[in-house]
Amino acid sequence: MTEKVLMKNAEAPDSHRIDTYETAGGYHALATVLRDYQPDELIKLIKDSNLRGRGGAGFATGVKWGFVPKDPALKKYLCCNADEGEPGTFKDRAIMEKDPHQMIEGMILCAYAIGAETAYIYIRGEYTLSVQRLEAALKEAYDKRYLGQRIIGSNVSLDIYVHRGAGAYICGEETALLESIEGRRGQPKLKPPFPAIEGLYASPTVINNVETLACLPHIVCRGAEWFRKIGPEKSPGPKLYCLSGHVRKPGLYELPMGIPLRELVEKHAGGARPGRKIKAVIPGGVSAPMIPESDLNVCMDFESLAAADTMLGSAGVIVIDDNDCIVRVATRIIEFFAHESCGKCTPCREGLSCAVKILRRLENGEGREGDLEQLDFLCDGIFGNSFCALGDGAAWGLRRALQIFRDEFIYHVEKRECPFH
């Protein structure tokens, strides 16, 4: 597939305006759905498309919607997860800056399917341009009666509000996001109850990622079958990949799901920089464990990456070449998670800070015997025991780095120095 779907308007001047969007067929899906689909039918369409969430966990979108109780007396909410904080990831920002109406139309479709009349966009606070573009786009949509009371003459209503995050990665985790909208510290909540049953303000709530929502109008317009045929059947669709780090052409690439990582890195992103060799690649943002160069043939979809003991996550692909130090990268990643730990649970709060202290010493040439065993111990203590996936992700990544590049770590302990810095 060379055809662009999500980014098809991106190059157009004023791509963020409603006119551009409408001219390219925008809001057609909305009209179609309001005319031809019952909410259930829309849910079925999305189920049939096999669309899986683009926020990281890859949960089947239609199935998630299906959990929302049908009782019309219950108030329901939709939250768009635009908190994009996973290091290495910048795809949602591109959608919001370049073509925000895709996502807004997607939100209206989703709200219709689940019966929500209020929706919030939880967007990370740093994205000021995105906030502006979204707010302008919402206004345009209200003016054209795509939003508000009785959307384009139907008896469907929806209000969308922008809620700015304020610098907390954890608020990307869906329950922490809900807590944050409710005006609390962004700490994950117990599940069950799942948000679809008891979410925002204790009402049934669907949380979907920006890119997930942006796929919806296309599925409505072009059919579930079309979508399912792009990439692997079980995780199909167009996909935005964020390439960064040691490659010649970093940036955002729209390609089908399931493309081999090697093709992505070497063909599209131009491969390693002159004179360098790729050492490792993080395929899905720093929550995803890195894989060694030898595993680059893996395909970029949920199942294949899981089989390679990592994950697709947010598709933030970070390339590390042989000129950099894995211990340094691991240190920085664990520093990040320690800084972003909400502090709720013991293993994540305390464990990550212990790991940071040890890793910093290693990198500064102050390693001690037993340090690596302490790190192993911490990974075991945190992984599987932390309250939410933040701790798990951190420990998983560190554990894999320790396994794959143990030699580099051992070198730091034994020689008490970093070979690269």
Partner 1 sequence: MATVTIDGKTLEVDDGTLILDLAHSQGIHIPTFCYQKRLTTLASCRMCLVEIEGHFSLEKRLQPACATRITDGMVVRTDTPLIAQTRRSMLEILLANHPLDCPVCDKAGECELQDMVFTYGAGESRFTDKKRVFRSEDIHLNPVIVFNAQRCIQCQRCVRMCEEVVGAVAIGTVERGMNAEITGFGNSLADCDHCGNCIEVCPVGALMSSPYRYKARPWDLTEVDTICPYCGTGCHLTIGLRDGRLARVRSKYETGVNGETLCVKGRFGLDFIDGEDKLRRPMVRKDGALAAVSWEEALSYIGGHARAAAEKGTVGGLVSPRLANEALYLFQKLIRTIFHSNSIDSSTRWSAPDQAAPGIYQSLEGLFGGLYARRSLHHALKADCILVVGSNVTDDNPVSEYLIRDATRNEGKQLFMVSSRPSRLDSEAASYLRLLPGGEATLLSAVLSAFIGNDGDSPLLYRELLEHAIPAFTDAQEVTILVGVDVLRSPRAPPALLMLSSLGRALEASGKRVGVQFLFDRPNQMGAWELGVIPTVLPGWRPVGNTASRAVFEDAWGMSLSPQPGADFHQMLAQCKAGKMEMLYVVGSDPLLSYPDGELVEGALSKCGLLVVQDAFLTETARLADVVLPTAAFAEEAGTFTSNEGRVQKLQPIRRPAFEAKSNIEIFTLLASSIGHDLGPVTAQDVFSEITRLVPSYSGLDGDAIDSANGAFTTSSETSAGNGGSTPDEVLISVPREPQSINTGELELVTGDCLFHSGYVSKNSAILKALAAEPYVEISPQEASSLGLSDQDPVIVKSRYGEAKARLRVTRRFPDGVIFIPENFVEMHLNLLMKQGEHPCRVVICKEEEGIRDTIAT
Partner 2 sequence: MTAVSATEFMTEDMRREIKEIIKRYPKRRSAIMPSLFLAQEEHGYLPDEVLLEVAGVLDVPEIWVYEIATFYTMFNTEPVGRFHIKLCTNVSCLLLEAGSLLPHLEKRLGITCGGTTDDGLFTLSIVECLGSCGTAPVMQINKTYYENLSTQRIDQILDELKAQASGAHRTIQSRDDGQEGVPA
Ligand X SMILES: Cc1cc2nc3c(=O)[nH]c(=O)nc-3n(C[C@H](O)[C@H](O)[C@H](O)COP(=O)(O)O)c2cc1C
Q: Taking the complex as a whole, how short is the minimal distance between the CB of residue 396 and partner 1, in angstroms? A: 8
Q: Taking the complex as a whole, how short is the minimal distance between the CB of residue 189 and partner 1, in angstroms? A: 10
179 sits near ligand X (criterion: CB under 6 A):
no
- Residue 164 touches which member of partner 1, partner 2, ligand X, none, C-beta under 5-8 Å by kind: partner 2
- Residue 270 touches which member of ligand X, partner 2, partner 1, none, C-beta under 5-8 Å by kind: none
Compute the C-alpha angle 365/371/372, nearest 5°.
Answer: 110
Token pair of 318 as six digits:
């970070």
Binding residue (CB under 8 A) for partner 2 from 183, 192, 274, 275: 183
114 sits near ligand X (criterion: CB under 6 A):
no
Query: CA 80, CA 103: separation in Å to the nearest integer?
Result: 9
149 sits near partner 2 (criterion: CB under 8 A):
no
Token pair of 278 as six digits:
């790729």
Query: Which residue stretch of 196-204, 211-219, 316-324, 357-365 sits at the interface with partner 1 (rule: CB under 8 A)?
Result: 357-365
Binding residue (CB under 8 A) for partner 1 from 194, 361, 416, 417: 361
Query: Which residue stretch of 79-87, 218-226, 291-299, 315-323 sits at the interface with ligand X (rule: CB under 6 A)?
Result: 79-87
Chain centroid to Cα 258, Å, comes to 16
Q: What is the CA radius of gyration of the chain?
A: 22
User: Tokens 């990665």 identify what position?
Assistant: 169
User: What residues have CB less than 8 Å from 226, skipping those under 6 apart?
Assistant: 219
Residues 306-365 that bind ligand X (CB under 6 A): none
Query: CA 302, CA 312: separation in Å to the nearest integer?
Result: 6
Residues 341-370 that bind partner 2 (CB under 8 A): 342
132 sits near partner 1 (criterion: CB under 8 A):
no
Binding residue (CB under 8 A) for partner 2 from 7, 216, 352, 372: 7
Query: Which residue stretch of 221-229, 294-302, 303-311, 330-338 sits at the interface with partner 2 (rule: CB under 8 A)?
Result: 330-338
Q: Contact at 8 Å (CB) between 408 and 375? A: no
What order of strands is seen across the sheet that includes strand 238-245? 251-256, 238-245, 316-321, 278-282, 291-292
Residues 236-275 that bind ligand X (CB under 6 A): none
Nearest to 292 by CA among 301, 283, 300: 283
Q: Contact at 8 Å (CB) between 365 and 417? A: yes
Query: CA 223, CA 410: separation in Å to the nearest integer?
Result: 54
Query: CA 245, CA 240: separation in Å to the nearest integer?
Result: 17
Nearest to 351 by CA among 388, 369, 377: 377
50 sits near ligand X (criterion: CB under 6 A):
no
User: Tokens 């089908």 identify what position?
Assistant: 256
- Residue 345 touches which member of partner 2, ligand X, partner 1, none, C-beta under 5-8 Å by kind: partner 1
String of DSSP letters for 6-27: TTTTTTSTTTTSHHHHHHTTTT
353 sits near partner 1 (criterion: CB under 8 A):
yes
256 sits near partner 2 (criterion: CB under 8 A):
no
Residues 259-298 that bind partner 2 (CB under 8 A): 282, 286
Q: Which residues contribute to the site for partner 1 (CB under 8 A)?
A: 168, 185, 190, 338-347, 349-354, 357-358, 361, 368, 370, 374, 377-378, 380-381, 383-387, 389, 392, 396
Q: Which residues contribute to the site for partner 2 (CB under 8 A)?
A: 7, 10-11, 84-90, 92-94, 97-98, 124-129, 132, 161, 163-169, 180-186, 201, 242-246, 250-252, 282, 286, 316, 318, 320, 324, 328-329, 332-333, 336, 339-340, 342
